[in-house]
Structure 1
Amino acid sequence: MTAQPLVTVFMAMYNGEKYVSDAVVSILNQSYPNFELLIIDDGSTDNSLSIIEAISDPRIRILKNESNCGLYKTRNRGIEEARGTYFAILDCDDIAYPERLSAPLTFLEQHADYVACFGKADFINGEGRMISTQNMFSGDHEWLSVLVFFLNPFINSTLVIRTDTLRKYKYREGYEPAEDYDLIQRIITDNKVIILDKNIIKYRLHQQNVSSTQAEKGKSGHKKVIRELLGRFELQNPESNIEMHYALYCKVLTNKGYNLNEIERWLLLLILQNKDRQVYPDRLFIRAVRVEWAKLIYNNKSLRNIGLFIKSPLFHARGMFHFSYLVLRGIGHRFSRFKY
C-alpha cells in the first residue's frame, strides 16, 4: 500500500457482487497513481467480499463492519479511516474513467480556496449500455449554491473533497437516502465548491441501487433538507411550504396535491422573500426560479399549462427564450440534455 497517499478513494460495499469488480478495476486503472482504495464491506451476504479479496493490489485496503450498519454510518467510518489529504467516492456499481481522480485533484491543488470538486457523468443501465450523458450541471460556486436550493445537482461518485473539511461536516443520521444532499447543502453554505465540465464516471441506473429501492423513504430525507433550506427565508406556514417545495423538487405535480398556479405563486413569493432577506444573489436566484418554472411546465405540459406559462410574469424575462422554445415546441428531449 502507498505509505502516504494523497487521496483516499472510498467504496462502501453491500451485496455488490455483480458490479464491484468493474468498479475496483476502474480505480486501479487511474491515470493518477498516488491513492489508496479503501473498501468497507457493510455485512454483504453474497460473494462481494471474496471477489475483492481475490484482487491483488497493495493500494487496496479492506475493512468490514461487524453488521449491516447502513450507508451513512459506513461512509462516516470511511472518513475517519481515510489516510489521504483528499477523499473521493466511487459507489461499488459505478465505473470511473481514467481521469476520475486527476481532473478534480488538479483543480483543487491549483485552487486552495475551493474545498470540493465534482465532475459530470455518463448514465448506463444495469448491462452497461449508455442511456444518456449529463450535460446540464456545471458551474462555479456562486451559481451552484443557488441551485442547491431547488435540487441536488451533484453526483457523489464524482466527488473529491479535502478530508479535513469532510471530517468537520460528516453525514447525519435521519436523512437517508438524501444524506448526500444534506451534506452538500451544509458544505456549500460556507465553502466554495465547483462542478467541472468533464464527464469522469459512468453512473449506473438499475433496480438494485439506492436511488431506486429507497425512493419512498427518500421523501422524508429530502423534506428534512428542504425544511432547513426554507428556514433561511423565515416564511410562515413552514410545513405547507415544505410540501409545496417538495412538489417543485419532484417537477411532477401528479398526486402531489398542487397545481401550477399555486407553484407559480410560491415561486413569486420566494423571489420577493429573497429580495428582502438576501439569502441568495438576486440575479442568480431569479434565474434559477425561472428555469425551475420552465422545467415544471415542460414536465406537466398541456395546452392550458402552456398558456399559463406564456402569461406568467416568470415568462417575460431575459434569459427565458431557450426554455420558452423548448416548452412551446414540446420536443421530446429531456431537460438533462440542456445546460443552465
Structure 2
Amino acid sequence: MSKKVNVLLSAYNGEKYIKAQIDSILNQSYPNVELYVRDDGSKDGTLAIVREYEEKGLLHLEAGENVGFVKSFEWLIANGGEADYYAFSDQDDVWFEDKIKMAVEKLEHARENVPVLYFSNYDFYDGDLNFMAHRDGRTPNISFVNSLVDCVSLGFNSVFNRKAKDMVTEQMPEKSTGHDWWMYMVCAGMGEVIYDERPTVKYRRHNNNVSDGGYSFIKFQIWRFKRFFLNHYFHHIHEQIKEYSELYNGKLTPENQKALALFTRDGFHPLIALRKVFYPKKLRQKVVDEIFVRLVFLIGRL
C-alpha cells in the first residue's frame, strides 16, 4: 500500500473556481489521496458545490463559521485525518496530475523523525486558466533565519510529513500570520525543507501582469508598501517570531537559538538594529528585498 496523503483545503466564497481545483485533486495520478475541506463560512454557493462531492463520498467536509484562513487551516491540520503526508490546498488553483506523486517521491528520501516540508515551483495562469508565464526558476534561499523574515513556501505548493503535522498540532500557535509560514519555520528550524524546481501547480492570478508575486512591477511595489506599512504588519511578524521562540527555542541548535534571540528583542536598540542590518547571512530572495528588510531593521520596525 502506498503512503497516504491527506489534502487540506480551506474554502471561502470560491464558487467560481473551486470545482476545477477539487477535480484536479481527485484526479491525481497518485493512488492514495483523501481530501478534507473546511468551508470558512462562505456566503455564496461554495458550500453547496462541496456538498455535492461529499454526498458522493469523494471528500470530507466541515461547514464552519468564518474564522479567517489561518485559523481555518489550523483546524484542518488538527482535524485532517490520519495520514503519512499532508498537503495544503488553496481553492482557486489547479494541480498538475502528478503533483502528489512528485512530492511523495522526494519526501520518501527524507528523515521520518524530524519535521519535513516539501514545496515546488509553479506556473502563472490567468483567471480563465490560460498560461501566462513560468515562475522565476532560481532556487530560493532556504534557511532558518530566512524563515523568520520571509516565507518562501506557499500553501498551495506545500506538502509535509506526519512529524511536522504532529509538532504543529501539539503546540498550535495563537499568533501565526500564516499556516504555510508557520510550517516553514517549524521545518526550517528543527527539520528539513526540500525544494523541487519542477512546477506542480497552475497558480491562478486574477490580473494580466506577472512578476514573482504575480503582479506588474509598479503594482507589486504598491502591494508591498501597503502590506509592510499598514495594518501593523511588522508587529504581527515580530509577535509570530516571539511565540515561536517561546514554543521551540529549547529544540533549536545553539546557532539558531542565537539568531532567534537577536530577532526577538523588543523595542528599538541602536546596537541591536545595527547587528540586524549587518547580519552576515542572506535573508531574502532578491537584492531589492534584502536591502528593504535591512532598512526596516535600521528604523526599528522589525
TM-score normalised by length of structure 2: 0.70
Candidates 215, 218, 222, aligned match of 2:237 = 222
Equivalent residue for 1:81? Answer: 80
Moved more, 47-56 or 27-36: 47-56
The 1:5/1:218 distance shift into structure 2, 3 A limit, reads farther
Q: CA deviation at 1:187?
A: 2.7
Residues 292-333 of structure 1, C-alpha deviations (whole Å, 9 max, x = no match): 5x334899xxxxxxxxxxxxxxxxxxxxxxxxxxxxxxxxxx
* d(CA) in 2 for partners of 1:128, 1:218: 34
Q: 2:196, 2:237 → 1: CA distance?
A: 25
Q: Is the 8 A contact 1:144 1:194 kept in 2?
A: no
Query: 1:169, 1:183 within 8 Å by CA — same for their partners in 2?
Result: yes
State the partner residue of 1:317: none
2:50 corresponds to: 52
Structure 1 residues 112 and 298: CA distance shift in structure 2, 3 A: closer
The match for 1:295 among 275, 288, 292 is: 288
Secondary structure, aligned partner of 1:185? helix
Q: Shift of residue 217 of structure 1?
A: 4.2
Give the partner amino acid of 2:59. I
CA displacement, residues 245-283 of structure 1 (integer Å, 9 cap, x when unaligned)? 9xxxxxxxxxxxxxxxx8xx8532x12xxxxxxxxxxxx
Q: Which amino acid aligns with 2:72?
A: T
Could you give the per-residue CA deviations for residues 155-214 of structure 1, whole angstroms, max 9, x where no partner exists? 1111111134213124522333x343233213310111111111111222348xxxx8x9
Q: 1:20 aligns with which of 18, 21, 25?
A: 18
Checking the alignment, whether the CA contact within 8 Å between 1:169 and 1:187 is kept in structure 2 is no
Question: What does the per-residue CA deviation read over 1:206-243, in whole Å, with 9 as the maximum and x for residues that have no partner?
Answer: 48xxxx8x94447143343456689625379743479x
SS in 2 for 1:116: strand
Question: Percent identity at matched positions?
Answer: 22
What is the DSSP-based 3-state SS (H/G/I as helix, E as strand, rest coil) of the residue aligned with 2:99?
A: coil
Shift of 1:128: 2.6
Q: Match for residue 155 of structure 2? A: 156
Taking the aligned partners of 1:163 and 1:297, their CA distance within structure 2 comes to 33
**Could you tell me how far 1:63 is from its partner in structure 2?**
1.7
- SS of 2:8 mapped into structure 1: strand
SS at the partner of 1:119? strand
User: What is the letter of the counterpart of residue 277 of structure 2?
Assistant: L
SS in 2 for 1:101: helix
Determine if the alignment matches structure 1 residue 6 to structure 2 residue 4. yes
Which stretches in structure 2 are left out of the alignment for 5+ residues? Answer: 208-222, 246-257, 293-302
CA RMSD of aligned residues (A): 3.6
1:59–1:291 Cα change, 3 Å:
closer
Secondary structure of the structure 2 residue equivalent to 1:239:
coil
Q: Is the 8 A contact 1:12 1:41 kept in 2?
A: yes
Match of 2:255 in 1: none
Determine if the alignment matches structure 1 residue 132 to structure 2 residue 160: no
More divergent stretch after superposition (106-115 vs 81-90)? 106-115
2:252 match: none
How many residue pairs match? The answer is: 253
- Structure 1: runs of 5 or more not aligned: 246-261, 272-284, 300-340
- Which has more radius of gyration? 1
**Which amino acid letter does the alignment assign opposite residue 122 of structure 1?**
D
Q: Secondary structure at the match of 1:295?
A: helix
Q: 1:232 aligns with which of 250, 260, 263?
A: 260
Contact 2:8 2:87 in 1 (8 A): yes
CA contact (8 A) 1:267 1:289 kept: no
Per the alignment, do residues 267 and 289 of structure 1 end up closer, same or farther by CA in structure 2, a change over 3 Å counting? farther
Look up the match of 2:186. Answer: 186
Q: In 1, distance between residues paired with 2:19 and 2:189?
A: 36
Distance 2:85 2:61 in 1: 18
* Amino acid paired to 1:107: K
- 1:63-82 matches, within 5 Å, as 63-65=62-64, 67-79=65-77, 80-82=79-81
Matches of 1:99 and 1:155 in 2, distance apart? Answer: 18
Aligned equivalent of 2:254: none
2:122: which partner in 1? 121
Q: C-alpha separation between the residues in 2 aligned to 1:237 and 1:78?
A: 32
8 A contact 1:5–1:36 mirrored in 2? no
Corresponding residue for residue 297 of structure 2: none
Aligned position for 2:198: 198
Q: Evaluate the alpha carbon distance shift between residue 21 and residue 200 of structure 1 in structure 2; reply closer, same or farther with a 3 A threshold.
A: same
CA distance in structure 1 between the aligned counterparts of 2:138 and 2:67, rounded to whole angstroms: 32
1:22-81 Cα shifts (integer Å, max 9, x gaps): 11011112110211111111111110011122347533122211x212223222221223
**Which of the residues 23, 35, 38 maps onto 2:36?**
38
